[in-house]
Amino acid sequence: MSSFDNSSIDPLTGLMSPAYFYEALNRLRSWAARGNNPVTLIAIDLKNLGDDQLLQVARDLNSELRGGDLLARMGQKSFILALVADQLGARQLVFRLSNKVKIIGDFQVVEVGPGRDLAEALGEIGI
């Protein structure tokens, strides 16, 4: 897959598609492992939002993230966020985002440090 083609972007939100997210996540995990840093995944379930609200949440979330963070739309009403941080750092981000962005949804957090099976971690958060 090229660096960024039409299949890399979700057409509604402009966020990463699942396929591009997994590709970028592998690069992020490799980079983090070199510094012995964990990567934490945050699943965001937005089941009660309409398309307009979903789009606004995507914009708001995207504006609050650091340059290396990854944000993707994984399903009709679900996003996933990956960041180089431990669970405590991720939970602090969730708190900040839920207050600033006013997300009405459920969050699941899992750390995927070096050597952790990604499929198992994704299963823990329902992805």
Indicate which CATH number applies to the domain containing 45: 3.30.70.270
- Quick one: pLDDT at residue 2? 43
Residue 106 resides in a domain: yes
Residue 6 resides in a domain: no
- Quick one: pLDDT at residue 1? 42
Q: Which domain holds residue 78?
A: 12-124
CA 87, 110, 59, 70 torsion-angle sign: positive
- Quick one: pLDDT at residue 104? 64
pLDDT in tens, 26-43: 999 999 999 999 999 999
pLDDT band at 6 (very low <50, low <70, confident <90, very high): low
Residue 83 resides in a domain: yes
Q: What is the mean pLDDT of the chain?
A: 87
Residue 4 resides in a domain: no
Residue 2 resides in a domain: no
What average pLDDT does range 65-92 have in this prediction?
A: 92
Q: 3-state class of 74 per DSSP?
A: strand
C-alpha 83/C-alpha 14 separation (Å) is 19
What average pLDDT does range 82-104 have in this prediction?
A: 86
**Number of domains present in the structure of the chain:** 1
**What is the phi/psi pair of residue 98, to 5°?**
-65, -30
pLDDT in tens, 98-114: 887 776 678 899 999 87
Residue 20 resides in a domain: yes
Residue 5 resides in a domain: no
Residue 59 resides in a domain: yes
